[in-house]
A = this chain, B = another copy of it.
Amino acid sequence: MLTIKEVTELTGIAAPTLRYYEKEGLLPHVKRNENGKRLYDEEDLSWIHFVTALRATGMPIAQIQKYVYLYKEGDSTISERKRMMLYHKKDIERSIRELYLNLDKINYKLALYDVLESQIERTSIKI
């Protein structure tokens, strides 16, 4: 069982953020010791990693809340949770496609700069 400090060191997530996630219901069943201090086990860690992956891919807190709520409901919600993940997967794939398209525009801009620079170079040589 890990303290909150150990978890921040392991995950790079700030302690207030971990408390905030828990308060918002994103981290089910985090235990406490006799003094009320948080204790994280392996399962908590994998929840943290999962939530982090969802956040990093742009899923809003509110939607993760809903997911965890369904998880707590038990096996009867498996198909709905799967649907949420499938939908989110499509979202990520769309984001990636858009990033590639916009990356093309940046690359085009960079190509223009290359032309500009070589023009400037040639001009300088002439002088």
Interface residues in chain A, defined as those with a beta carbon under 8 Å from any beta carbon in chain B: 49-50, 53-54, 56-57, 75, 78-79, 81-82, 85-86, 88-89, 92-93, 95-96, 98-100, 102-103, 105-107, 109-110, 113, 116-117, 120
Contacts and interface: CB of A to CB of B under 8 A. Distances in A.
Contact of A92 (B54, B56, B81, B103): B103
A106 B120 contact: no
26 contacts: A49-B105, A50-B105, A53-B102, A56-B98, A56-B99, A56-B102, A57-B99, A57-B102, A57-B103, A57-B106, A78-B113, A78-B120, A79-B117, A81-B113, A82-B113, A82-B117, A85-B106, A85-B110, A86-B110, A89-B107, A92-B99, A92-B102, A92-B103, A93-B103, A96-B96, A96-B100
Enumerate the 3 nearest inter-chain pairs by beta-carbon distance, A residue then B residue, closest first: A82-B113, A53-B102, A53-B105
B96 A110 contact: no
Chain A contact residues, majority secondary structure: helix
A72 to B, nearest CB: 16
Contacts of A113: 78, 81-82, 85
